[in-house]
Every structure is written in structure tokens, then in C-alpha cells.
Amino acid sequence: MNSALLRRIETASDGLRELAYNLWWTWNPRAQDIFHTLSERKWRSSNHNAVAVLQAISRDELRARLSEKEFLERVEDILQEFDDYMRKDDTWYHAHIDGHEDKCVAYFSAEFGLHECLPVYSGGLGILAGDHTKSASDLGVPFIGISLFYRNGYFQQSIGPDGWQNESYPLLNPASLPLELVTDEAGNPIVASVEIGHARVSFHAYRVKVGRAVLYLLDTNRPENDLHHREITARVYGGDSTTRVMQEIVIGIGGVRFLRQLDMHPWVYHMNEGHSAFLTLELLRERLAAGTTREHAEQWVRQHCVFTTHTPVPAGHDRFSADLLDHMFGSFRDTLGLTQHEVMAYGREHPADAEEPFCMTVLALRMSRAANGVSELHGRVSREMWMELFGATSPDEVPIGHITNGVHILGWMAYRTRQFWHKHLGEKWIYYLKKQAIWSQVSDPDLIPDSDLWALRYGLRRDFIEYVRRMLRHQASHAHAEYATLQDSILNPDVLTIGFARRFATYKRAPLFFRDFNRIAELINNEDRPVQLVFAGKAHPRDDEGKRFIQQIVGFTKNPALFGKVVYLENYDINVARHMISGVDVWLNTPRRPMEASGTSGMKILIHGGLNLSIQDGWWREGYDGSNGWSIGGDEHAEDAAVQDERDAQALYTLLEYELIPAFYERDEFGLPRKWLQRVRRSMETLIPVFNTDRMVSEYVLKYYDMTR
């Protein structure tokens, strides 16, 4: 081996280790393929963890593998692509906010859903935060994320023989994850602390690199802390209200303090939901300690804070009693120099009401200069909800706007789909996701023939069904033994496939599809136009009603009339979601309106040629135009839940029976469903350039962050 080749191998080896610790690879399939090639077994068993793969490969083996010319060139190509991405200086941010690169955004969220190998998220709020982070990186926005390191994650779900959800909490080992302990120059962990009750609770942090963006995960699992304080950051939304308020003290107050330890002073503090709203009190404390008057201190905090609310019902907002907050805030309140009543007033709609609990959303709204809901309808609902807080006589007077959520398209794209778009739009299309002109080309059958589009859908459906069969074989080992021997007869690649996957909160109404069982059984078993369904999702560990919904769905999968045609996939996570959103033909969404603030799952299917079948709630109310999917009911809802459920179920059945199913099976002489594909094209053309996080993040920068001030 000559010295030049040896240098190339050493450079590539070092580069791979650097790449493994930057989650940029999670939205680059060519980079993922490198790690998959190194060890297929470890790649799968680690839930696609690049760091775990490299740790399983000795340096000698890695050198030997890299000495193979073709593989070395593949690695060098991807490392060059990574380097070009990290060094790119003609980003969207540079073009629109030129001269303000020194101003950064601190984005606080109780969860970040970045990848399945880092399970520190529970659901949609975290997925949204993760997608926000990735697009901030793509756009070149100076971005810092703040959250907690949950060493037991959310939970791993398994379904027992009786259909009941069981939870387990395996321990995450930070040493084998794509994160690094934040240390000083001497290699010692940087430690900060917060006051909780009469104790001082210390924490360190792990740094997660997400392209150009950086995320800090705070962790109280330190030897100097009492055991119950070490457990604060153990689980996502774990424990009771006492644990919740302690977590929120750490993420809000602790998050600001850790930034100061790093000598970071962000231009804007973005609170993604109210969990981190205590950060406003820490910013207030800093200004007061510097000698600023309380009035000017409050004004400064408002100028630098923005708030996004995701909760359309009053019961969903965190509220804490005066006694609990007084106990937890005793020492911190003394540093503020405020009385208990003065602190409580920040979180009360009616500050003089001594019986009213402290609401985190109220605190965030009081101390932010701008606030928004996550869809147009949710913005309207939020304005109605908080009229009293702002002393408004009309919702129009309430200063809450909206920025509709999106998804990070590249991060949710199947490799087959990415190759399809590279072929038809050229490789530069990934830089213009929100350009309408790019997606208007989709309507041109000369550019993208119906046969190619239908071949894509067939390939994705086949990939998904084979994935489902592998998953069900695994599930059969502890619950559904009947699937083990009938694996290859589960689902059919020729059949219309509908997907339903989300958190099993009761308002999402997972069992609505089966409200009229006999009618649905007839549709599913129609010999000429059959239908099959795949369900997935977790219920909160303390939500027994949601668990009963799962139990109902699992029961339907075992019904002889539906067996093999309706399946439930356990342990829903980002990986399961990625397979579902690419493989199903139709994404079903049935929330009880207007309780779906936005929703993003249905946005993820667009790039794959899937269609939405949804209640007009959240984003779909804005996206639906009559020709790009289907609306279950209209732009209204009955106030009575029972009436709404019955109307929505009947509307769903009518759409399926008379519009959706016939459109899928109506074929021409070439076997192509032309009308269906026309609707797919319309969906792509009208929805992809709008419902993505590139558009969403750019709106936050231009409308809310005020970076040029």
C-alpha cells in the first residue's frame, strides 16, 4: 500500500467518525448506506445508529474495508458532500438576513424527534421540533436547540395476547449514541445548576450535531444530586405534576443558564409549547440582577421571546398549584426578589384570583412579544381561548397569529422515492423544496409518465408490505403467534392500502373506521375492489382509554373476517412511520375537530405519491382544494361529540364506497388508474411546496424572529 493511499484511508476513517456524530446522515440515504454496508446486522440491531456501527468495527477492519477502491471512493464522495454542506455560505439565511449571522435562535422544546436511534421524543411535538431543526440547518439559520436527555426515553411498546399495551423503559447508553458530552478545555464536563425547593440540582449536557444546527440535551443524572433529583430527566413526561414542574425548571431556567456557561446570548428565545416558559423568569432574573427596573426587565424579555402553542383545548395546558410552585420556587423566588403572589401573577389569567393555578401557557403569552398557533384554525381557536387573558372583547383583538406546521421532506423520504425525483427533476431539486415552479412540473405527463408514477407506487407498496411481514413475524414471538406461519399471506401488494398511525389519544378516534363493522367488512372483503389497513401508535402510559382503543384495533386484526387485511404494528417510532408514510396509498386522519392543532403525518406521504383522507382540521383544512385528496365532512363540525362522530363516520363510508375505492380500481387498457394518478399529481403540485419546514422556518425567521432589528 503506497503512502498516498494510506493517507486517503486515514482521512476517510477520521471523516466517517466525524460524520457519524452529525445527524446530517439521517437525511442522506447515500451516507446511511455507507454504515449499512459496514455492518448490516449492527445497523439493524442498533435501530440504524451510525455511531454504534463504527464502535462495532475495529480500526484495522475499517482500514481494510477502506482499502477496497470502490468503497473508498463512495466514502470520499459522501464526505465531500458533507463538507460542502457544512461550508455552504450561499444559504437562504445569508440571502435574506445578510449581515446578521451573529444573531442566533435558541429553540426550547421538551422533546426532539430527530431519529429512531435517539428516542428522546414521544410524538408530534417532538417530531415537529426535530424537523424544524433540520430545516434550520438546511436554510443556514444560526440555531441552538435546548431539551432534556431522557436516559429511559419515552417507552418501548409491546402488545400482549389480550391486546393491552405494555410499556418498558430500556436504558439508553450515551456512549453509543450520536451525541457528545459537553466539556471544558481540560475535558471535564461543563456543569450548571438550578434551585429546586431548597436544593441545588446540578446537570451536565450532551451536544447533538444536526447538520449546522446544535442541540443541547440537559441531564440531571449526576452523583452530587439526590436520587430523586437524578431521576428528573429519566423519562419523557415521566412521573406526576411534581416531576413535570421539576423538568420544566431544568429545561427553562437550566437551559438559559447552560447557554451562559457556554457564553451564548441568543437573539431570540423560541418556546415550542409552554414546557420551557420558566426561561422567561430566568431572563427576568438576569435583567433585575443587572440593576434594570422590573418594567424595563419585562420589556426586554418580551422583545427577545416568541411562543408557539400547540394545544387547542384548555385542559391540555400545564397548570401547577400555588403550593407546589411555592415549594419548588422558594429559593429561586428569593433571587428574583418577588413575592409568591407576584410570581403567581405571571401565570394567572386573573392575577388577583388566589385560587387560580399557575399556567405555563399564560406565562409564555405574557412574556412574549409574538405568539402563534400551528394552523389557521388553531390560531383562531387559540385567540378565542385566551380572550380573557388579553382583556379582549373579540378574538380579533387577541395577538396570536399562526404559522402552519410543515415537515422536513428529505428526512422522511424513502430511498426509492429520492431516486425517482433525481431521475425526473435532476439532483438540484432538493434545494428548491418550497419553489412552486419546481412542483408545477409534476402535472406534465411527458416529464413524469403515469406509468413511472404508478411503478413508484407499486414499488413502495411492495417494500412496505414486506417490512410489515417482517415486523409481524417479530410480534408473533410474544403475542400474535398466528402470524408466524401465515406471514406471506398478510396484506397484498395489489390492494388499496390505507394507513392510520399516530398517538392513540381518544380525540384522534382510531376506532371510528369500524363504527359500522358490517359495512366496513364488506368493503374490505370486496372481491373486485378490496381494501387493507395498517394501524400503529402508542397510548400514553396513564391513558387507559387510549389503551382500550388499541385493544379494540388489535381485536379487529384477529377477527376472521379481517385477519391478514387489517394489521397493527407495535412500538410506533420514526422508523415505523417512515415505512408507513411511503408505502400506504391513503393516509387516514379522523380527529374530532377542532382538536387537531395542525398534524403533520399526512404531509409526509405527499412526496411518495400518497393521498390524504382527512377531517378538515389542522393543516388539511388549508391544504384541501377538492381535487388533491378527500375531505371527511366540510369546514364545520357539530358541537355534540356523539353527533360529530356519527356524521363523520357516515361521511367516511360514503367517500370510500362511492369515490375513493372506485378511483383506485378504475383502470385503462394499460392497467393504469388515470383519475387516481391525476389526483396524486394535483396533491404533489399544490401541497409539497407549502407544507414543508423550509417554508415554515423561513416564516418564523421573517415574521417572528425579527433578526434584522
Q: What is the pLDDT of residues 133-173, one digit of tens each?
A: 999 999 999 999 999 999 999 999 999 999 999 999 999 99
* First-to-final CA distance of the chain: 58
705 CB-near residues (< 8 Å, 6+ apart): 105, 267, 268, 270, 306
Q: What kind and span of H or E run contains 531?
A: strand 531-536
Sort 527 into a burial class: Cβ within 10 Å, 0-12 / 13-18 / 19+: exposed
Contact 21, 209 (CB under 8 A): yes
Rg (CA), the chain: 26
**What residue type is assigned to position 197 of the chain?**
G
Euclidean distance between CA atoms 366 and 302, whole angstroms: 8
Specify the DSSP class assigned to residue 22.
Answer: B
The residue with cell 387516481 is 676
Q: Residue written as cell 393543516?
A: 619
Q: How many CB atoms lie within 10 A of CB 528?
A: 6
Separation of alpha carbons 592 and 585, rounded Å: 23
Distance CA 632, CA 652 (A): 6
The contacts of residue 518 (CB under 8 Å, 6+ apart) are: none
The candidate with the shortest Cα–Cα distance to 123, out of 408, 503, 504, is: 503
User: Is the C-alpha dihedral spanning 356, 309, 377, 395 positive or negative?
Assistant: positive
Using the CB atoms, write b or e for 176-206: b if 16+ within 10 Å. ebbbeebeeeeeeeeebbbbbbeeebbbbbb
Calculate the alpha carbon distances from 232 to 229, 280, 330, 461 in Å: 5, 21, 18, 43
Please give the DSSP secondary-structure letter assigned to residue 357. Answer: P
Beta bridge partners of 203: 192
Residue pointed to by grid coordinates 362511492: 658
Partners of 206 in the β-ladder: 181, 217
Angstrom distance (rounded) from CA 255 to CA 266? 12
The strand pair at 143-148 and 105-108 is best described as parallel
Q: Cα separation of 367 and 184, whole Å? A: 33
Rounded Cα distance between 100 and 111, Å, is 28
Give the Cα separation of 610 and 630 in Å (integer): 12
Residues of the chain scoring pLDDT < 50: none
Please report which helix (H) or strand (E) contains residue 94, including its range: helix 92-96
Dist. CA 651–CA 659, nearest whole Å: 11
Three-class SS state of 69: helix
pTM of full prediction above 0.85: yes
Q: Which residue has the cell 400506504?
A: 584
Q: Can you tell me the distance from the alpha carbon of 684 to that of 444, in angstroms, rounded to the nearest whole number? A: 12
Q: Which residues pair with 106 in a beta bridge?
A: 144, 269
Nearest CA to 508 among 618, 409, 608? Answer: 618
Please tell me the number of Cα atoms within 13 Å of 568 on its side-chain side: 30
495: left (phi over 0), alpha (psi -120 to 50) or beta: beta
Any idea how long the chain is? Answer: 709
Residue 635: φ, ψ to 5°: -85, 50
pLDDT value at residue 97: 87
Cα 699 from Cα 265, distance rounded (Å): 22
CA 106-321-389 angle, 5° bins: 65
The crossing angle, in degrees rounded to 10, of helices 415-425 and 29-38 is: 140
Rounded-to-integer distance, Cα 408 and Cα 617, Å = 21
Please answer whether residues 357 and 368 qualify as being in contact, where contact means their C-beta atoms are separated by less than 8 angstroms: no
- State the Cα–Cα distance between residues 642 and 582, nearest whole angstrom: 33
pLDDT reported for residue 481? 56
Q: What is the enclosing helix (H) or strand (E) of 219?
A: strand 213-219
Separation between Cα atoms, residue 235 and residue 226, nearest integer Å: 17
Planar angle of CA 420, 424, 429, nearest 5 degrees: 90
Which residue shows C-alpha cell 375537530? 593
**Which position has the grid cell 440515504?**
29
**What's the rounded Cα separation, in Å, for the pair 583 and 495?**
12
593: left (phi over 0), alpha (psi -120 to 50) or beta: beta
Buried b (16+ CB within 10 A) or exposed e, 259-286: beeeeeebbbbbbbbbbbbbbbbbbbbb
Cell numbers placing 105: 435562535
> Cell numbers at residue 570, please?
407495535
Element (H, E) at 144: strand 143-148
User: How many other C-beta atoms are found inside a 10 Å radius of the C-beta of residue 74?
Assistant: 18
Q: Are 133 and 219 in contact (CB under 8 A)?
A: no
